[in-house]
Amino acid sequence: MKEVNKADVLLGLQWGDEGKGKIVDVLTPHYKVVARFQGGPNAGHTLVFEGKKYILHTIPSGIFHSGCVNVVGNGVVLDPFIINKELDQLNIPPDVLQESLFICGKAHLILPSHRLLDAALENKKGKLRIGSTLKGIGPTYTDKVARTGLRLADTATDNFIKKYEALKTEHLRLAESLGYSLSDLKLDSLTFEEYEQEWFRGLERLKSIPRVQSEVFINETLDKGARVLAEGAQGTLLDIDFGSYPYVTSSNTITAGACIGLGLAPSRIGEVFGVFKAYCTRVGGGPFPTELIGKDADHLRERGNEYGSTTGRPRRCGWLDLPALKYAVMINGVSRLIMTKADVLNQLDVIKVCTGYQIDGEEQNIFPLTLEQESLNPVYKELQGWNNSLDSVESFEQLPAALLDYVSLIEDYVQVPVDIISTGADRKQILIRKGAGILQRLAVV
Find the shortest distance in angstroms from Cβ 12 to ligand IMO: 6
For 161, other C-beta atoms within 10 Å of its C-beta total 11
391 counts as catalytic = no
Distance of alpha carbon 344 from alpha carbon 301, whole angstroms: 9
Among 48, 90, 260, 402, binds ligand GDP (CB under 6 A): 48
Q: Establish if 283 lies at the interface with ligand IMO (CB under 6 A).
A: yes
- The per-residue DSSP string of 216-246 comes to HHHHHHHHTT--EEEE--S-GGG-TTTSSTT
**Is the CB of 45 or the CB of 135 nearer to ligand GDP?**
45
Q: Site size for ligand GDP, by CB under 6 A?
A: 23
Among 11, 27, 43, 254, binds ligand IMO (CB under 6 A): 43
Among 105, 131, 270, 314, binds ligand IMO (CB under 6 A): 131
Residues 6+ apart with CB under 8 A from 7: 35, 218, 222, 227, 228, 229, 230, 258, 262, 264, 268, 269, 270
Chain centroid to Cα 199, Å, comes to: 24
For 303, other C-beta atoms within 10 Å of its C-beta total 17
User: Taking CB under 6 A as the rule, which mask of x and - marks residues 292-311 in contact with ligand IMO?
Assistant: -----------------x--
Among 187, 233, 292, 348, binds ligand IMO (CB under 6 A): 233
Distance of alpha carbon 163 from alpha carbon 169, whole angstroms: 10
Across 201-211, b (16+ Cβ under 10 Å) vs e yields ebbeebeebeb
DSSP 267: G
Find the shortest distance in angstroms from Cβ 138 to ligand IMO: 5
User: Taking CB under 6 A as the rule, which mask of x and - marks residues 326-365 in contact with ligand GDP?
Assistant: --------------xx-xx---------------------
The catalytic residue among 45, 57, 114, 171 is 45
Interactions with ligand IMO, residue window 138-157 (CB under 6 A):
138
Q: Which residue is nearest to ligand IMO (CB)?
A: 284
Q: Is the peptide bond before 60 cis (omega within 30 degrees of 0)?
A: no
45 counts as catalytic = yes
Distance of alpha carbon 57 from alpha carbon 282, whole angstroms: 18
Q: Establish if 133 lies at the interface with ligand IMO (CB under 6 A).
A: yes
- The answer to whether 141 and 77 have CB atoms below 8 angstroms apart is yes
Among 44, 274, 284, 378, binds ligand GDP (CB under 6 A): 44
Among 8, 12, 37, 418, binds ligand IMO (CB under 6 A): 12
Give burial (CB, 10 Å; 0-12/13-18/19+) of 326.
Answer: buried
Residues that bind ligand IMO (CB under 6 A): 12, 15-17, 42-45, 130-133, 135, 137-138, 233-235, 238, 249, 283-284, 309
Which of the residues are catalytic? 17, 45
